[in-house]
Structure 1
Amino acid sequence: MALTTSQNLSKFPPSVRSHLTQVYWTLLFSVLSMSAGLSLHLYTSIGYTIFPQLLVPLFILLTTFYPRKSETEKTRKYLLYCLCTSIGCELGPLIEVTLETDPFILLTAVSGTGVVFLCFTGAAIVAERKSYLFLGGFLSSMLSVLVWFSLLSFLVPVKVEQYVQLYVGLLVFTGYVLYDTQLMIEKAYHGSSDVVTDAVMLFYDCVAIFVRILVVLMKNFRKQEEKEKRRKK
């Protein structure tokens, strides 16, 4: 697998390889920034305040609409890292509950997310060019279904909506890792080198996968606890 990956990477033009390297380094620092936000919540409980809920939309807008020029790339990266830190603060309460329940659940979710992301982004890199771009329309449609299910749940609470959001959502965002990786490569082939935008898309995919894996593990853990309590009775 590693040999195949290196052979396929060597086929990329230097500009594409350089772009991929910058994107994945930016993604790594984005994940570290989110981890810093999580740590900040654990020490200050800032996730229970309104500040992360205000900062996340603000930094999303700034990251999205800030002028996309080579001169502003560093500023946009700093805005991205601020966004990731704010997202980490917002996810803090969920992580806190997980740690209080069983720290091993968090470790499993982190490692599971890492394995899923690395396998699927690696598969997109070594695969034939444009082979997964056909997923774009299907994934967009499925994402729309998830949004409609969320809106419907506000009007009519449906228990199945939770399972759809978790399991179908997990499949959708796993597919987006394939699609976004190949889309990033194709844009790089055509001269687009927007590192921040590509890193943001992959970061959103990672977070969406991580949260769903974490919630699924938490639900399974609590179901197992309930079964054990019933057996003891």
Structure 2
Amino acid sequence: MEAFFNSQSSSRSRWSYDTLKNFREISPVVQNHIKRVYFTLCCAVVAAAVGAFLHVLWNIGGFLTTVGSIGTMVWLLSTPPFEEQKRLSLLMASALFQGASIGPLIDLAIAIDPSLIFSAFVATSLAFGSFSAAALVARRREYIYLGGLLSSGLSILMWLHFASSIFGSSIALFKFELYFGLLVFVGYVIVDTQEIIEMAHFGDLDYVKHALTLFTDLAAIFVRILIIMLKNSGERNERKKKRRD
């Protein structure tokens, strides 16, 4: 990850109008593909919001919706690309189930401070937009090498979660998983964006699959940012109570 930040600082020092010309490295066909990917991603976010709203109304989120999200995702990936409408429907269904699965966290945020939901969404959008834009204006394949580091980071998170479920967790370990996981998925936004561009250059214009990849990153970032905000809000409320007492 140190290499990533060094690369970021050097890119900032090189920033000029010429940086924007990097879009010329992206052919018109690939540019149109990227537009379709982001439009589809926006539709998936709306579907997820509907799923979260349905959970607030009818308490449908939980284990079954999580299984439903994973199942429709696998179904989508196993469906041939020419069945476009079916794959789009499966993507929206997966996003809706994912939103319902996040529903219990949304309920908790509503109980503590409803404004945190909007703040977390804005923060997620800014983080996603900034890092995705950085990947778009960077030289082709400049950040793809980070994929191996991020995969290792994701593996570390999985093993830590597995170990904490067996041996128990601590506050320090929970904080590490939370912030390190946020860093990993923000990094994945950059890597996945450049991989999508690279695959599109080689003829892979499967915008539904690419939108699913970015939606997975976006959902993971939103959940972690919302948990961090909820945690910070709870700590502030505890400090206020101690001062009153």
Normalization by structure 1: what TM-score?
A: 0.93
Aligned to 2:238: 226
Task: For 2:87, give the aligned amino acid.
Answer: R
Displacement of 1:53: 3.3
Asked if 1 retains the 8 angstrom alpha-carbon contact of 2:22 and 2:139, the reply is no
Give the equivalent residue in structure 1 for 2:10.
none
How far did 1:10 drift?
Answer: 4.4
How many Å apart are 1:164 and its aligned residue?
2.1
Q: Post-superposition shift, 1:72?
A: 0.8
Asked whether the equivalents of residues 19 and 138 of structure 2 are also in contact (C-alpha less than 8 Å), the reply is no
Question: 1:16 offset after TM fit, Å?
Answer: 0.5
TM-align CA RMSD: 1.8
Of 19, 33, 41, the match for 1:27: 41
The reply to whether residue 213 of structure 1 matches residue 197 of structure 2 is no
Letter in 1 for 2:156: V
Supply the distance in 2 between the matched residues of 1:25 and 1:137 (Cα, whole angstroms).
28
Aligned to 1:186: 198
- Aligned residue for 2:61, secondary structure, equals helix
Once the two structures are overlaid, the 10-residue window that deviates more, 9-18 or 80-89, is: 9-18
Q: CA deviation at 1:57?
A: 2.5
Deviation at 1:54, TM superposition (A): 3.5
Counting aligned pairs with the same residue, the percent is: 36
The more displaced of 98-107 and 116-125 is 98-107
Q: Find the counterpart in structure 2 of residue 133 from structure 1.
A: 144
One-letter code aligned to 1:61: V
Aligned to 2:28: 14
Distance 2:53 2:185 in 1: 26
Partner residue, 2:52: 38
Structure 1: which 5+ residue stretches go unaligned?
none
Gaps of 5+ in 2: 1-14
Equivalent residues in 2 for 1:42-191, closer than 5 Å: 42-47=56-61, 50-67=63-80, 69=81, 71-159=82-170, 160-191=172-203
| Paired residues, number | 230
Secondary structure at the aligned position of 1:47 is classed as: coil
CA positional deviation for 1:61: 1.7
Deviates more, 1:120-129 or 1:96-105: 96-105
Give the TM-score normalised by structure 2. Answer: 0.89
Shift of 1:11: 4.1
